[in-house]
Amino acid sequence: MTHWQDGETVLRWAAAALLETERSFRKIMGYKDLWRLKAVLDEETITPQQVRVA
């Protein structure tokens, strides 16, 4: 069991773990167009014409 010193220690360990695992992350295909998806989802109503699968 790990004995944490304080909240900063927890954050430091979490950041170190993320940096270590970041190397194995892959990019999502089409990640550059995610802003379009967000814009459509942020609208109040979505019409069928707005939903297109590329």
Mean pLDDT by 10 residues, the chain (54 residues): 72 91 83 86 71 66
Is the whole model's pTM more than 0.75, yes or no? no
Q: Are 40 and 46 in contact (CB under 8 A)?
A: yes
Residue 32 placed within a domain:
yes
Q: Domain residues for 54?
A: 28-54
Q: What is the DSSP letter of 28?
A: P
Residue 48 placed within a domain:
yes
Residue 47 placed within a domain:
yes
Residue 22 placed within a domain:
no
Residue 36 placed within a domain:
yes
Residue 38 placed within a domain:
yes
Residues in the chain, overall count: 54
CA distance linking residue 54 with residue 14, whole number of Å: 37
Residue 20 placed within a domain:
no
pLDDT at 14: 92
Residue 39 placed within a domain:
yes
Number of domains in the chain: 1
